[in-house]
Amino acid sequence: MPAAFIGHGSPMNAIELNDYTKAWRTLGEALPRPRAILVVSAHWYINATAVTSMSRPRTIHDFYGFPNELYSVQYPAAGAPELAEEIAEVARPHWVGSDVDSWGLDHGTWSVLVHLFPDADVPVVQLSINGFKPLDYHFDLGAKLAPLRERGIFILGSGNVVHNLGALDLGLGERGFDWAEHFNEEARAAMTEAPSEVLAVEGRPDFDLAVPTPDHFIPLLYLAGLADAAGDCCEVLVDGYMGGSLTMTSYTLGPPVQVSGRREHVPVEEQLEPGPVPPDDTNM
């Protein structure tokens, strides 16, 4: 199975059709049908490594200040308790616990899957981000998950390469701050040329601005680990900036996916009036 990282941006992307969500839909249409989906979402950031193992995960609306239409979205995919056991096995010696009742599918997962698999007819499991672990732990764990791809599991990271809501300026529209552009391009060079080098961006001058908290960046490391395990590089699915300090860059691993009208970032000096930007009022 292919694998992917999606820059999910605002929860509003769940109910909007734009350049990004069109690219996600194109990816979903191009994918072979997976046995199940394993998602590493920025929004399940806890003090342990665990997987959801309930048979019917609930849809979690983990945000505030959005239209009622968004709160009414349900993604009724089944769980896959047997996959939770497989994940624990391939991840050794890393310990992976089982969550049978506390979590479900957060918006980092379902806001993307409603476009990739709109029928919600493929079982879904989430893997938590252990906030107590360093970045290389997540890269290594991603590499250990590689055998699951051979078993028909679609592995998806959902976050944002650059995610600094404190610096967000909606007046900038689809432009990026210089530091956001620099960091995004460094990460892009690593993902598309030498995925193991993505860990080196932690030492770059723009890292603290681009990644003030690691929750949204870490899902990218799982795809980088998978790519390194496969001896392969990633392809850019879609690219772009929002509000200066948020990137929408998404990557795929596996057979190339051709996106009609693929969105590429336009340098600031070539941009004109900014377009409308949906609000992102989440607290993560």
What local confidence, expressed as pLDDT, does residue 270 receive? 40
Taking each helix axis as running N to C, give the angle between helix 178-193 and helix 218-230, from 0 to 180 degrees, rounded to the nearest 10.
Answer: 20
Distance between CA atoms of residues 165 and 244, nearest Å = 10
pTM beyond cutoff 0.85 = yes
Tell me: the pLDDT tens digits for 263-283? 444 443 343 333 333 333 343
What local confidence, expressed as pLDDT, does residue 84 receive? 92
Distance between CA atoms of residues 226 and 141, nearest Å = 9
What local confidence, expressed as pLDDT, does residue 258 receive? 64
Distance between CA atoms of residues 20 and 265, nearest Å = 12
Distance between CA atoms of residues 211 and 192, nearest Å = 20
Provide the residue ranges of all domains of the chain, joining segments of one domain with +: 3-270
Tell me: the pLDDT tens digits for 54-107? 999 999 999 989 999 999 999 999 999 999 999 999 999 999 999 999 999 999
For residue 149, which of 94, 225, 217 has the smallest C-alpha distance? Answer: 225
For residue 115, which of 231, 233, 16 has the smallest C-alpha distance? Answer: 16
Q: Residues with Cβ < 8 Å from 135, sequence gap 6 or more?
A: 199, 202, 214, 218, 221
What local confidence, expressed as pLDDT, does residue 255 receive? 73
Question: For the residues of the chain, what is the DSSP string, one character each?
Answer: --EEEEE--SGGGGT--SHHHHHHHHHHHHSPPPSEEEEEETT-EESS-EEE--SSPEEP----S--HHHHT--------HHHHHHHHHHTTTS--EEESSS-EE-HHHHHHHHHHSTT--S-EEEB-EETTS-HHHHHHHHHHTHHHHHTTEEEEEEE-SSB-GGG--GGGTT-B-HHHHHHHHHHHHHHHH-GGGGGGGGGSTTHHHH-SSGGGTHHHHHHHHHHHHHT---EEEE--EETBTEE--EEEESS----TT---PPPGGG--S-----------
CA atoms within 13 A on the CB side of 164: 21
pLDDT by residue for the chain (284 residues), tens only, comes to 999 999 999 999 999 999 999 999 999 999 999 999 999 999 999 999 999 999 999 999 999 899 999 999 999 999 999 999 999 999 999 999 999 999 999 999 999 999 999 999 999 999 999 999 999 999 999 999 999 999 999 999 999 999 999 999 999 999 999 999 999 999 999 999 999 999 999 999 999 999 999 999 999 999 999 999 999 999 999 999 999 999 999 999 997 666 644 444 444 334 333 333 333 334 33
CATH top-level class for 3-270? Answer: alpha beta
